[in-house]
Every structure is written in structure tokens, then in C-alpha cells.
């Protein structure tokens, strides 16, 4: 696995899953694309539509790889962040970390906020 692409919190979750024998348990992750999203100029609505087309095209190879890995039903694309979220097993995370378009894979945590 390309460790440099695995966020430390996700690495800890992967170690915990391995220690508990949960290698097939899907883990919620967000996968950041290597290409930063450029600021758009021009008309707001047209600029946003153009940005969405551009980002979806950039993300297409990552989404296709997630589909090949069998987790396509869990994919959500995030245009403004140029990231994709999915629920992946540790083996799927390791395979996706090898993809050249992946900048970083992070654990999605549900933080509880008290007021």
C-alpha cells in the first residue's frame, strides 16, 4: 500500500480492523484527487456547470476504479472539493491508494458535538 496516501487516522483504523479480524468490513473514506480545483471566472451559473463537468471528468478514472473494485454503489462525488467518498474494505483501500489520481485517502468520522 502506498502509505504516503493513507491518512494517519485511516491507517490506525486499518490496523484496528486487521487486529479484530474485520478485513471485509467497509470503512467510510474520502478520496482526494491530485488535481486542485481551479477558481472559476465568468457567470456564476455557467461557471459552476463548467466546474462540475471538469471535476467529474477528472474523477472519472477514480470512480471507474472504485466500480472495478466492487464498491461503486457507495460512491458519492464531491465537486467543490474534487473528492470522492465511498465505503471500502481495507483491501480496496490498498488497491485504490495505488491509483495515480489519488492524492490522499482519509477516514470519514462522525464527530459528535455537544452544546
Confidence of residue 51 (pLDDT cuts 50, 70, 90): confident
How many C-beta neighbours within 10 Å does residue 82 have?
Answer: 21
**C-alpha cell of residue 71:** 464498491
Question: CATH topology for 3-107?
Answer: Alpha-Beta Plaits (3.30.70)
> Which pLDDT belongs to residue 74?
93
pLDDT of residue 2: 77
Task: Kindly give, in sequence order, each residue whose CB lies less than 8 Å from that of residue 46, ignoring residues fewer than 6 positions away.
Answer: none
Residue-level pLDDT at 37:
78
Task: Concatenate the DSSP letters of all residues of 43-85 into one string.
Answer: -HHHHHHHHHHHHHHHHHHHHHHHHHTT-GGG-EEETTTTEEE
The C-alpha cell that represents 108 in the structure block: 470519514
List own/partner pairs for 11-17 with CB under 8 A and 24 or more apart.
Answer: 13/107, 14/90, 14/93, 17/90
* pLDDT tens sequence across 4-27: 999 999 999 999 999 999 989 999
In this prediction, residue 47 carries a pLDDT of 76
Mean local confidence (pLDDT), 64-81: 94
Residue 108 pLDDT = 95
pLDDT, tens digit (0-9, with 9 covering 90-100), for 76-114 = 999 989 999 999 999 999 999 999 999 999 999 876 677
Amino acid at each position: 500500500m502506498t502509505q504516503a496516501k493513507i491518512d494517519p487516522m485511516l491507517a490506525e483504523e486499518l490496523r484496528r480492523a486487521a487486529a479484530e479480524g474485520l478485513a471485509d468490513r467497509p470503512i467510510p473514506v474520502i478520496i482526494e484527487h491530485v488535481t486542485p480545483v481551479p477558481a472559476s471566472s465568468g457567470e456564476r451559473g455557467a461557471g459552476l456547470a463548467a466546474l462540475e463537468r471538469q471535476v467529474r471528468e477528472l474523477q472519472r478514472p477514480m470512480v471507474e476504479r472504485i466500480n472495478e473494485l466492487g464498491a461503486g454503489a457507495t460512491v458519492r462525488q464531491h465537486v467543490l472539493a474534487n473528492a470522492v467518498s465511498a465505503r471500502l474494505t481495507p483491501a480496496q483501500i490498498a488497491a485504490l491508494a495505488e491509483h495515480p489520481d489519488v492524492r490522499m485517502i482519509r477516514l470519514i468520522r462522525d464527530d459528535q458535538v455537544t452544546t
